[in-house]
Copies of this chain bind each other. A is one copy, B any other.
């Protein structure tokens, strides 16, 4: 393991991670463990997409590590035949930080839920983001606590009736994308459990990003919050609701691409594409915009009702990562010395 710890700053998120000598397949990443989610749970689709996409990265299987917290979603690592740790509630980003900081030769994935990441684990999440540790955080957002049988979560809409809020919840939810951007995130994306192609493309970009990548995955919990993302899945509504983000492409969407996103003040507005609309006024998506104000504004387009929901990569910018900087400091010091333990003990 020390071989790759050469203290060279990474450029891509997978730099320094050994490649696989064999051609790996989906099956190589499927463990023997019995999958224990409810039938119909959106987690199955995400698992399938993930196991399908991992071999594409071409990296050695033994250099992939999955670290999760607690929740239905956090069972994920058991089903992926790599190294994995099912840790405790909310702490996965912190555990993964220690691992990623010391092992630049690994591709480290954090699997977490909306409760795990945003409720008990909120602090570790925002600190990982500001530090820009080379972690890929997949946040399975089903807007509910699944494993504890259905209490509202920090992403549940106001007024949500659940076991713990029989007359409706009172708290304004977080918008995970806004929160991440407020926490200096260098990569933030959103995707959907059932859209395998989109999911795969976002995961690929995340894997290759050097630094902390937060990927919010809308995930259906068919037991306790069924249909939460129906508007984005139902063929009758999804085209009007989903705004696909492609870097450099204009933000056009809707049935027959009849809707577009234009700037309005410091924010965005959805307008009809018609003859009155100057095509130049349609915003071209710029995921690489240095100023996070752009991505932040984009994140405010969608409220709890998901009526206009941007999906894709909001922000993807380069900035120094904690782990590379740490390794650089460390190796500079090791090279420079002192390294003689006896001298150190003597205190001279």
Which residues in B have their C-beta under 8 angstroms from that of A318?
none
Cα–Cα, bound, A96→B14 (Å): 44
Q: Does A171 sit at the interface, judged by CB under 8 A?
A: yes
Asked if A267 lies at the interface with its beta carbon under 8 angstroms from chain B, I say: yes
Is there contact, CB below 8 Å, between B293 and A170?
Answer: no
Q: Specify the chain B residue showing the minimal Cβ separation from A326.
A: B170
Instruction: Confirm or deny: A313 has a beta carbon within 8 angstroms of a beta carbon on chain B.
Output: no
What residues of B have a CB within 8 angstroms of the CB of A8 in the complex? none
Question: A123 contacts which of B123, B182, B333 (Cβ < 8 Å)?
Answer: B123
Leading 8 A-B pairs by shortest Cβ distance:
A182-B182, A293-B297, A123-B123, A122-B123, A267-B291, A266-B294, A170-B325, A267-B293
- Asked if A179 lies at the interface with its beta carbon under 8 angstroms from chain B, I say yes
In the complex, are the beta carbons of A154 and B172 less than 8 A apart? no
Assuming the contacts A122-B123, A126-B122, A127-B154, asked whether A170 and B296 have C-beta atoms less than 8 A apart, the reply is no
Contacting A131 at CB < 8 Å: which of B126, B172, B297?
Answer: B172
Q: Is A345 an interface residue (CB 8 A)?
A: no
A sample of 6 cross-chain residue pairs with beta-carbon separation below 8 angstroms, ordered by A number, consists of A126-B174, A181-B182, A182-B296, A263-B266, A266-B293, A293-B293
Contact A293 B300 (CB under 8 A): yes
Q: Tell me which residues across on chain B come within 8 A of A179, comparing CB atoms.
A: 126, 182-183
B130 touches A171 (CB 8 A): yes
A179–B173 Cα gap in the complex (Å)?
A: 15
- Write out the residue numbers on chain B whose beta carbons fall within 8 Å of the beta carbon of A126: 122, 126, 174, 179
A127 and B122 form a contact (CB under 8 A): yes
**Contact B266 A297, beta carbon cutoff 8 Å:** yes
Whole-angstrom distance between the alpha carbons of A293 and B299 in the complex? 9
A102 to B263, CA, bound (A): 43
Q: Does A175 make an interface contact (CB < 8 A)?
A: yes
For residue A272, CB closer than 8 A to chain B, the reply is no
- Residues of B contacting A122 with CB < 8 Å? 122-123, 126-127
Contact of A167 among B123, B297, B333 (CB under 8 A): B333
Chain A positions 285-332 with a Cβ under 8 Å from a chain B Cβ = 289, 291-294, 296-297, 300, 319-320, 322, 325-326, 329
| A154-194 residues at the B interface, CB under 8 angstroms | 154, 167-168, 170-175, 178-184
Cα distance, A89 to B126, chains bound together (Å): 18
A126-B126, A130-B154, A182-B296 in contact; A171/B265 too (CB < 8 A)?
no
Q: Provide the residues of chain B in CB contact with A74, threshold 8 Å.
A: none
**Separation of A120 and B94 alpha carbons in the complex (Å):** 13
Residue A73 CB within 8 A of the other chain = no
List chain B residues, Cβ under 8 A from A325.
170
CA distance A333 to B168 in the complex (A): 13
Question: Which residues from B are CB-within-8-Å of A220?
Answer: none
Q: Are B322 and A130 in contact (CB under 8 A)?
A: no
- Scoring A174, A294, A296, A319 by chain B CB atoms within 10 A of each residue's CB, the highest score goes to A296
Asked if A132 lies at the interface with its beta carbon under 8 angstroms from chain B, I say: yes
Interface positions, chain A 104-145, Cβ under 8 Å from B, are 119-123, 126-127, 130-132
